[in-house]
Amino acid sequence: MLSELIDTTAALITFLDGLGDCKGQPPSLYVDLEGNNLSRHGTLSLITILVEPRQKVYFVDVTTLKEKAFDTMGSDKGTIRSILESKDIPKVFFDIRNDSDALFGLHGVRVVGIEDLQLMELASRNFSKRCVNGLAKCIERDSTVGYAEKRDWQRVKDKGRILFDPARGGSYAVFDQRPMDQEVIDYCAQDVALMPHLRDVYCSKLCDAWWREIISQTETRVEQSQKPGYNGQGRHMAMAPERWLRWHPTTAERGIRTLYEISGPRKDLDVAKLSSPEDRPTSIVLPARRFQDLAAVLERLSMHDVRGVSCLDSDEADDFAACDSECGYCGQCPY
């Protein structure tokens, strides 16, 4: 996959001017952040952005550009800050919490329009939702790419971790060192490379009721990450939203897959005309690039206030089988 380092304002302006229209669904932008103790207490060194329609990864060098990385304007007055704060431009992150903490705490960026791929994976499961997964576990278990591609992905990941993981003799300071080591660049690129593929896998399993839950919990994650007492390390970071342990869609809700459908698109559908529940088909697909804002569509297409709450056994046994031992939340994960 092609990549480009953006470490001058001229290069950043060129990037912004060439983005085109990123509004609406499906998302064009897949984003990951790197830094030394990525949080309000550390540094935000690099913003990695996969522009999926171009199949190209861009690295915005925050260490070099500092605030210019966020506030340099393109010809249409757009900035990295305005993109991250736009509800009309969907951005896919894997676990928005610590990224949001760093963006808000260090640079005053209030992210909006986020799709959290980690929550999408959790919602799509048909087994225990007790613990979230790390990205490596998602790729290992859910990706349908070939063995060779998975092997190459893991090889790049392992080489990068040797450089920055203190447990392996590395240091997160490598993200602030300039010029950047090529193995660090490769590591950052591969973290976003398979995210669109994973998103497709999980979207095919999600009904509209789960989408509402994902939107709600993503907003909660962002809100919590901006609070003064937020702590982005520890066992609690590996735990699923408590509500999801005791909630599932009703049988009727599971059949409503308005936004995504495996069997193929239905042409010429005008969502605005679906004014009442009786008018809504139980399985709708919108043509690519014609999806409206996800939250707005779900609100408009929501059924009557049917929640489908179900109390599971309160003594549910611990099941950490889905947890990623290298998620980084605990540091010394016992399971």
The model's pLDDT over 204-247, given as tens digits with 9 standing for 90+, comes to: 999 999 999 999 999 999 999 999 999 999 999 999 999 999 99
Predicted confidence band of residue 274 (pLDDT cuts 50, 70, 90): very low
The Cα-based distances of 67 to 34, 70, 108, 172 in angstroms read 16, 5, 10, 21
Query: Binning pLDDT at 50, 70 and 90, where does residue 258 land?
Result: confident
Q: Is the pLDDT of residue 318 over 50?
A: no
The percent of residues above 90 in pLDDT, for the chain, comes to: 61
pLDDT at 169: 85
For the chain, the domains span 2-245, 251-301
Summarize pLDDT for 51-95 with one digit per residue, the tens: 999 999 999 999 999 999 999 999 999 999 999 999 999 999 999
The encoded tokens of residue 205 equal 């399993």
Of 241, 218, 259, 242, give the one whose Cα is nearest residue 116.
Answer: 218
Least confident of 18-32, 119-133, 308-322: 308-322
Residue 19 has pLDDT above 60, yes or no: yes
User: Greater confidence, 311 or 183?
Assistant: 183
At 110-147, the pLDDT tens digits run: 999 999 999 999 999 998 999 999 999 999 899 888 88
Instruction: Give the model's pLDDT for residue 18.
Output: 95
Is residue 45 over pLDDT 50? yes
Predicted pLDDT of residue 260: 62
Does the pLDDT of residue 283 top 90, yes or no?
Answer: no
Tell whether the model's pLDDT for residue 150 goes beyond 90.
no
Amino acid at 74: G
What burial letters (b/e) apply to 17-41, b meaning 16+ CB within 10 Å?
A: eebeebbbbbbbbbbbbbbbebbbe
CATH class of residue range 2-245: alpha beta
Place of tokens 């992905």: 153
Q: The tokens of 325 are what?
A: 């031992």
Residue 175 pLDDT exceeds 60: yes
Beta strands 2-6 and 56-61, pairing class: parallel
pLDDT tens for each residue of 92-113: 999 999 999 999 999 999 999 9
Out of 73-77, 184-188, 320-324, pick the least confident: 320-324
Taking the model in full, what pTM does it have?
0.81
